[in-house]
A and B are shown apart, each in its own frame.
Chain A
Amino acid sequence: MASLLKRVQSKMFIFAHRKTLGLLDGEYGSVFKGRSLDFDELRAYTPGDEVRDIDWKATARHGSPLVKRYVAIRRQTVLLVTDTGRNMSALAVSGEAKRDIAVQALGVLGYLAHRHGDVVGLVHGTAVGSSTIPPRSGEDHLERLLQEVHRSTTLDGGPSGIGRQLDDVLRTFKRRMLVVVVADEVMPDAGTELLLRRLQARHELLWFTVRDAELAASNPADAFDVADGSGIPAALAGNAAVRAAYHQASREREQRRQDLFRRLGIAEGRAGSSTEVVAALFAMLERHRSRPPHSTGGRAAGRGQQRAG
């Protein structure tokens, strides 16, 4: 199989300018609000860096913006959490498999982490069970993660249930880390919401949504539900009344989802195709950085700061 990481990178470079990638690096670097006071080095300012990190005195001396770096943010652990149940092998809005978009998102994130010198781990699985690849660094490791996700997401895989993975993350990983959940448009139920709340308290939590295929599209085609194999005839999906009701329901559900993530203080990004991934990730990181300080994440940051020190 061709290298998935290469594929991810090529797409990433096609759909993002150099500048944007730099921005992305900056955004990624500022994900952790918690900083130690252990000064590490000064480096040139990269767009996306926190303005308050700029060392103004040094900048004044040097002539161009310089940013202070601290030891604590040098080596982070990034935990990619993704659903590899059969839902993810279904189609996304763009008509690609959701798995491919997930791999793209995971790949871009993993690559950013790799460039940043961070270690990347993976928790994936179905409602039946999760499997974990412990955090490690290196492109080979990253490639292995992507292959694992790609390989285990099949139509005849287990049913999807991201709650299981969240639970396992909560149980297994005690140390504070950056947790990025890549899943489809699941509507978190009460139990999942609780898990998210707890995860949010312990880790930096981000949620990346791969948008599901529209079930009642204007050009309907025969479809089947991957959950139970039941068919959805094009004639029914194309029915005007059904479409109107579906779109109404979709709008309402999306609103509730947005409200939920806002309430939990989790930055959420959405992509419907692999070409949108870079921009969506950027937006997600940006949202994460600018989230209101009164959220649970703020409190967690305080604790993290102590531990890092």
Chain B
Amino acid sequence: MELTFWWVLPLAAAAVALAFFLAARRRSTHDARPVAHGERLTALPEYRRALRRHRRWLAAAVASGFLFIAATALAAARPAERTTTQPELRNRDIILCLDVSGSMASTDAAITAVFEKLAKEFDGERIGMVMFDSRAVQLFPLSDDYDYIAQELATARKAFDDGGDSFFSGTWGGSGTSLIGDGLAGCIRSFPAAAAAGGEDSKRSRSIILATDNYVSGAPIFTLEQAAQLAKPRNIRIHALNPGDLDYGGRKDQPGARLRAVAEASGGSYFAPDSPEAVPGIVQKVQEGEATALKGAPQLIVSDRPELPLLAALFAAAVLLVAAWRIER
């Protein structure tokens, strides 16, 4: 608890002192009627009783007056509570960007299963899902309707597990298969456009969980790197999961190495799980990494806390009014 305008207090004290000084000066010139034999009145038990009562009310008036001044001065000094909070990351947008070429099915199933579970605990986050093969298809857009998401994810997981072809039919028909660059571009484009324009959505952190082995067979419109370029101005981090990292040698043009380069250039991370069982752990890791990376700098929150002094002032004013009424009577 601290005071925003601490100088109000000495000011109030000075004002009170001045008032006392003036009152004392006025008292000396104050003319009351001189009377003799005052004891004939003041010695009466009735007078004594009235005097005691009068004094009690005077004391109450003085005390409540002081309390009132002190409380209002304190309120005027704006007592504030200074707290630091680390804003939790509730405003995230995540798009699952899943390559649905045959080799990826088990990984995709694992990812959807993890998110199906996570969606139940989410609060504020938005998830969207895009799957691609030769074309990118949005399974569901960014949404915080977790029941709906869970339902969609369950459907997708079942399709991944069973290899339900009809489910993926929209991802075919382009020129070739596994057009990773196009798929990633599609994923990036499924973030709301307003995000770039600096609207409400621009405050939300954005990430893509890209599951692909980066084996392109066909002629994509975007290469992986070109698609990654789209992500940069939108502040989108790409976390890549590559279950089929079969690079040999340390050459930069190996698919795994390129994927890693793209992911890390965007500020994301790159994983190469050995088996689908490792996926949940990885997703967890990504989640937590996101959380710590995006856990904003500790924020200083200064909030006014005038309740107590104001309540005290209200109480004091009430007592003062009653006392003044009693004294004047």
Residue ranges of A at the interface with B (Cβ–Cβ < 8 Å): 86-91, 98, 155, 160, 184-185, 212-213, 215-216, 221-228, 230-233, 235-237, 239, 241-242, 244-246, 249-250, 253
Contact = CB atoms under 8 A, between A and B. Distances in A.
Given A226-B35, A241-B50, A245-B47, A232 B40 contact: no
Nearest to A83: B36
Given A236-B47, A239-B50, A242-B46, A216 B35 contact: no
Interface of B: 30, 32-42, 44-47, 49-51, 54, 327-329
A213 to B, nearest CB: 5
B34 to A, nearest CB: 5
A245 to B, nearest CB: 4
B143 to A, nearest CB: 74
Query: Interface of chain B, helix or strand or loop or mixed?
Result: helix
A223 B38 contact: yes
15 contacts: A86-B36, A91-B35, A98-B36, A212-B35, A213-B36, A215-B41, A222-B30, A224-B34, A225-B38, A225-B42, A230-B38, A230-B42, A233-B54, A236-B50, A242-B41
B32 A222 contact: yes
4 cross-chain pairs, A with B, having the tightest CB-CB distances, nearest first: A225-B38, A87-B36, A90-B36, A215-B41
A237 B41 contact: yes
Contacts of B37: 87, 184-185, 212, 215, 225, 227
B35 A90 contact: yes
A224 B327 contact: no
B55 to A, nearest CB: 10
B50 A242 contact: yes
Contacts of B54: 233, 235-236
A233 B57 CA distance: 13
Nearest to B57: A235
B163 to A, nearest CB: 98
Contact of A224 (B32, B46, B49): B32
A244 B34 CA distance: 22
